[in-house]
Structure 1
Amino acid sequence: MKEYDDYSAKEQQQLAVCQRLISEKSYLSQEEIRRDLQNEGFEGISQSTVSRLLKLLGAIKIRNTKGQKIYSVNPQRRPSPDAGRSIAEMVVSVEHNSEFILIHTAAGYGRAVARILDYHALPEIL
């Protein structure tokens, strides 16, 4: 599964704050979440961005003890992968010495980057 660090720094922050807010407070609507995200410093965040964040977090609506439908997120769940990421978004950093190259990937993307490198069968890569 995709981890937070598979996203840009801004997306990571939005996902983490959104998940924290939902775990701390009962939200009946995306508009309530949007307002609190704005209060957390994400000025100008749109409802469509909130909707995307909720989808990535796997948020669902459940009934609370008052019978109201509120958003809920499993704290163990992480955003699911999507194939739309470029390799530049998957690779966090690259280190090397005279013998090895170490590619640090975003969590959950090591295999994908390895497959891309294998697919291209570059002669300088063993």
Structure 2
Amino acid sequence: MNRRERQAAILRLVREQALSTQAELAHALREEGHDVVQTTVSRDIAELGLVKVRAPSGRLIYAAPGAGDADRLRAIGAAMRRYAIGVEAAAGGVVVVTTPSGYASALAQAIDEGGHPSIAGTLAGDNTIFIAARDGVTAAALRDELAAHLADGAA
């Protein structure tokens, strides 16, 4: 089997099955008779641009790029409601999010994995996250969008 056939099989498998890990994906390929090792699967995942999305079960699973964008954005909202206690705009396209002590890293990871189109990246400390807005996005607009998630959870 060549690389193109293997990658086509990977795309089909992630559409048909809830696969969460590289090992699960490699196992599914082997069950279909493809001789693969986990390092090859890892490289294929990167080349295909597979992303993790939240399945209805709540479990993170692989999906093709662009699949589940709404789910990924909902996951950011859920993480904001769970961990964030404050959001404010700062100079230079930076948004500052505060969390209880020890939760900034978990929230930053959720934001990064969510692939928000307006966010270039995050930098987390113990209880503070700096979020860099992409070019053309103001810190105030991004702050308003992220802060709206906090209001969604309010009664």
For normalisation by structure 2, the TM-score amounts to: 0.40
Where relative contact order (Cα < 8 A, 6+ residues apart) is larger, the structure is 1
Bigger share in helix: 2
For normalisation by structure 1, the TM-score amounts to: 0.49
Bigger share in strand: 2
